[in-house]
Chains A and B, each alone.
Chain A
Amino acid sequence: MTGTSGSPVLEVDDLAVQFTRRGEQPTRAVDGVSFSVAPGETIGLVGESGCGKSVTSLAIMGLLPQRGVQVTGSVRLDGTELLGAGPRTLRTLRGKDMAMVFQDPLSSLNPTVTVGTQVTEVLAEHRDMTGRAAQDEATELLDRVGIPDPRRRLGEYPHQLSGGMRQRALIAMALACSPRLLIADEPTTALDVTIQAQILELLRELVQGSGTALVMITHDLGVVAGLCDRVHVMYAGRVIETADRRPLFATPRHPYTGGLLGSVPRLDTGRGTPLTPIRGSARDTIPWSQGCAFAPRCDNAEDDCLTEVSGSTVPLEADGLRRELRCRHPLHATPAAAGAPAGATAASSAGASAGSPSTGSSSWSSSEGQQS
């Protein structure tokens, strides 16, 4: 679907998640999302809070609650269908073939159990390692993610570690079995800016060369610029624009993507130039069945954004250049006219990528040049 060569590690096809609460209208948190990730590839899932990024990742991992949730579509890991697979099958895949790193490293670790126990637990579960061998391997794993004095750290409790070290420990656990797929759900949001850069760099190093496919969930475009090969922008449960990183930053075509880029301060624009945040909030939305969900906040909106054309409201269409777009009146109708957003790094992203040589430069496009 995304045109990646080679057989993909993860293929998500028309994934939809619907929550049904008693006495409430069912809500579609994820609505027909499709993407795939090749071995060694890093994709970004980007969007505002509440757009369905986490629900998408939990659906892939089979971690959504059983009750009150309907998941449809298809999720294939190395060709094996995961939706509808039994709990035992899923459990053996989790941690071994697919793993996940969460946003808050403190709450993701059990406060009453030592770090060592939590690391060796994974080794016992998937690699049949116990006792000394597990201890040694755990030490090795912590060492590999850059935790100093790993043997001592194994005996410590999570609260004795710094935020960055906790996230490193969690990454070590996630990568303990060299999974084929790693999903990182905003892994740096809860961390200090300088630590963010280190963690991203670590993820990049670990994933590079190992052939692990990485799904990076974030709302920070700096993270995307530093890390992702391909980007899927989500809005209200749907993918609204998909493109390779470079063209996406150079010429965002969806007004929402453009808004995301425009609401971020750049170094190369004058100090007086006002930022242009997206109007309204994520709550100002309409159901996709009635038209474009972004319409209430969109400057380009016209009447046909809210009507059905040939049986569908605003479909996701491919342009033949590895870009897909869900918009009736996109930005940059002629790509040549689109020089503007080739700007520089966001304040947050500048910090986030400070430690990463690939993004330390002053503009999106040159940062890409360096990295590729």
Chain B
Amino acid sequence: MTVTTPRPGAGRRDRIDELAARAGQLSDGDGGESLLRSAVRRLRRNPVAILGAVIVVAFLLVALFAPLLAPRDPYAQSLLSEVRQGSIPGSRDGYLLGVDQLGRDVLSRLLYGSRQSLLIGVVSTVLGAVLGMALGILAGGLGGKVDTVVMRFVDILLSIPGLLMAISISVLLGASQLSLMIAIAVTQVPVFARLLRGSMLVQRDSDYALAARALGVRRRRIVFGHVLPNSLSPVIVQATLSLATAIIEAAALSFLGLGDPDISRPEWGAMLASAQSVLSIRPELAIYPALCIIVVALGFTLLGEALREALDPKFRR
């Protein structure tokens, strides 16, 4: 689909494991500077990070201030009377990107659409991350049989391609915005679980965890007070990357009619879907939302990859 979606099966697992293992070397520290500070310093020097951050910040601002930015009401079919068979009004005064086949201002709908993407992306990623991390902590913190059982389950989930699973769950739960978010969250769960568990295993073997054990600190405290905080950086990276995946999956599901049943609500995936019927007359109607999806997903991906690099000791100077 895009660079952000790991391929199902072994490749996907390996990628997660690599991310977890690399981040594990983090706490070896570099003596003087704090880890966070050196990461921020490297982020600011990285043009890829800056490009990603600019896109993400712009997207966030647009989503937050869409009502102020949008020139028109995204629901108003103000130019419906001018829509004819075979002709939809294009760009004109007050309608920068023209209108859709129902006479609604395309620019306003695109701006408002960002809110849906952000909402679905954030809610499903947070939900997926929380559930996945709970499983990861269970497996990585307790180890032993719990670990084996949890990870077996997680690996089964991982072996199912994400979009396929999301579609199945959406179909099962019925088309609604909530089921869409749940479906996307479920696809994120195994990724976060495996990632956090792998990262915790590395930290559990660390010197400071051994030193804490040598001082008789109890396991619960070691897991939550020491191991977990040091295992979070790959999770943060993954959350950034997952936002991109979630936005794409949300658009894909809406496109397939598995999103919000209220199709008048501005949403990029749904806009893409409805543009299909007029593709021959006004292909821009499909191109605009597609571009939005791609650019925003790209922004999160660039930022995520840059974060990963910044937090990766291998790239340290």
Cα-based distance from A118 to B34 in the complex (angstroms): 18
A109 touches B211 (CB 8 A): yes
From A95-103, A197-205, A209-217, the one touching the partner chain is A95-103
Q: Are B208 and A107 in contact (CB under 8 A)?
A: yes
Q: For residue B155, give the distance in angstroms from its CB to the closest CB of chain A.
A: 20
CB within 8 Å of B: which of A51-97? 61, 63, 91-96
A interface, how many residues as a size bin? 20 to 34
CA distance A91 to B216 in the complex (A): 5
- The reply to whether the CB of A111 lies closer than 8 angstroms to some CB of chain B is yes
Task: Determine the distance from Cα of A189 to Cα of B210 in the docked complex, in whole angstroms.
Answer: 18
Q: How far is the CA of A107 from the CA of B208 in the complex (A)?
A: 6
- In the complex, whether A159 has a CB less than 8 A from a CB of chain B is yes
Binary contact track A108-124/B, C-beta < 8 Å → 1, others 0: 11111100011001100
Across the interface, B230 reaches (CB within 8 A) one of A104, A112, A125, namely A112
Q: A37 in the interface, Cβ–Cβ < 8 Å?
A: no
Secondary structure call for the B interface:
helix
Q: Once the chains bind, are A63 and B214 in contact (CB under 8 Å)?
A: yes
Q: Are B214 and A100 in contact (CB under 8 A)?
A: yes
Q: Does B207 contact A (CB under 8 A)?
A: yes
Q: Is the CB of A107 within 8 A of B206?
A: yes
Binds A, one of B76-84, B217-225, B297-305: B217-225
Contact among B211, B213, B217, B230 for A111, CB-based, below 8 A: B230
CB within 8 Å of B: which A119-136 residues: 121-122, 125-126
Say yes or no: is B172 at the interface (Cβ < 8 Å to chain A).
no
Question: A122 touching B27 by the CB < 8 A rule?
Answer: no
Whether the pair B214, A121 counts as a contact (CB closer than 8 A) is no
B230 touches A110 (CB 8 A): yes
**A and B contact pairs by CB, cutoff 8 A, 18 listed:** A91-B216, A91-B218, A92-B216, A94-B213, A95-B217, A100-B214, A104-B207, A107-B27, A110-B27, A110-B212, A111-B208, A113-B225, A118-B212, A121-B212, A121-B221, A125-B216, A157-B34, A159-B34
Other than A111-B35, A122-B217, A126-B216, give 13 A-B pairs with Cβ distance below 8 A: A63-B213, A92-B216, A95-B214, A96-B216, A99-B214, A108-B207, A110-B208, A110-B212, A112-B27, A125-B216, A159-B32, A173-B215, A174-B215
